[in-house]
Amino acid sequence: MSETGHRKEVITGFIILAILAFVILSANHFTQEFGNADEVSEDIILGSGEGYKGKIIIQLVMEGGDLKALKAVEFHDTSQVFNDVLKSIEKDLLSGKPLEEIHVITGATATYHGIIDALEEAFDQLDK
């Protein structure tokens, strides 16, 4: 193989690795909707907290004054862990359980506390 051909292979390999690294590193940062988030309130009710890997922002999706869903606006924690915790919390809230009675999922303490802090901040806005 010529030196030019080898350089092209090295450059191509490097580009592929860079793209893969970008995809993997950005995979944990996305917006996720849960529950019935089709009906979004006119008021944007957001709360923020600090998760395991950074800032968490949660939106309350309201309809007629009732909570219909939670929407993750920003998070940096591991997607599967974050989704499991948020789904569990949302299920409890939608079934009528008060926020202060919702307990942590084992192994996700920092994520849980970040989501709870975000929800407390958002619910405080409803009380105003």
Which letter does DSSP use for residue 28 in this model?
T
Up-side HSE of residue 47: CA atoms within 13 Å toward CB? 19
pTM > 0.75? no
Neighbours of 20 (CB within 10 A): 10
pLDDT, tens digit, 9 for 90 and up, residues 37-62:
444 445 679 999 999 999 999 999 98
pLDDT at 36 over 50: no
Which letter does DSSP use for residue 71 in this model?
E
pLDDT at 63 over 90: no
- pLDDT mean over 18-42: 52
Which letter does DSSP use for residue 53 in this model?
S
- The residues, any chain, with a CB within 8 Å of residue 112's CB and separated by 6 or more, are 85, 89, 104, 105
Measured distance CA(9)–CA(108) in Å, rounded: 42
- The residues, any chain, with a CB within 8 Å of residue 73's CB and separated by 6 or more, are 31, 46, 57, 58, 59
